[in-house]
Amino acid sequence: MTAIGRRAVRLEHLLTAPNASLRDLDVAVALALEHDLVGALTVSPWLVKAARRKLGRSPLRLGTVIGYGHGGQLLAVKAFEASKALEQGATQIDFVVNGGALVSGEDETVYNDMLGVVDMAHSALALAGVIIEAETLPDELVRKACRVAERAGVDHVVTSTGVATAHHAIALTATLRDSVGPRVQVKAAGRFKEPDEVAEAIAAGATQVAAVLTPKLIEGAAGTMTGGMTEPAVVGAAAGRR
């Protein structure tokens, strides 16, 4: 069983820069807790434990990114990294797809890579999402990655680790939304700077918009948010596997 959020749009604050510090974490936690529209905080793996302590009993979802960068780590490495993050309090695990295996036509390798992390996250009642770094991938492989991800039971697919431009994230959001069924949510992650960009991502099908947030962006985006925040619904982790 796993907790899967209903289709309410929410913002997610990213603190995953290579040099993200404990001081940066203090600022990020304060920002996330201050604004109701922020439903999640995603941090570098080394900051998960400290973030969990600072968040206390807040219902804010605490995420981290596994396989950061290229996603070509061995499954055992990804699984170990995910297990430690969950042990330290993460409630959302996003991991980068193995793009090399995808391009090579090694679909079972891609599937097993996803399934190993997804099952581990779901066993801890955490959400799991796959990051499809698609700037260099043809459209048909992006769609294939989405189909494999849905079969592996992911809760959401993500446009990038957050370094992509807002324009690219918005365009890819539409492709991802068209490539997965209604059970799987789409997270638009990128360098969003303007409220209009957030609105475009939502219009393209995003149910989560992840970026390095600022108070100005959050306040400006408030008018684009619909449905408010909802409590997670509990469903079977294997519901989306075929």
The pLDDT tens digits for 198-237 are: 999 999 999 999 999 999 999 999 876 644 433 333 333 4
pLDDT at position 175 is 95
From residue 51, alpha-carbon distances to 42, 46, 146, 160, 165 in Å are 9, 10, 30, 22, 27
Which residue has 């996003």 as its token pair? Answer: 94
Calculate mean pLDDT across residues 39-50: 97
What is the CB neighbour count within 10 angstroms for residue 236?
Answer: 12
The whole-model pTM stands at: 0.87
Q: With contact defined as beta carbons under 8 Å apart, do 211 and 191 qualify?
A: yes
d(CA 19, CA 75): 26
Give the side-chain half-sphere CA count within 13 A for 59.
11
Q: Would you kindly state where each structural domain of the chain is located, as residue ranges?
A: 8-225
Percent of the chain residues topping a pLDDT of 70:
88
Eight-class DSSP state of 73: S
Confidence of residue 137 (pLDDT cuts 50, 70, 90): confident
Q: Which CATH superfamily is domain 8-225 in?
A: Aldolase class I (3.20.20.70)
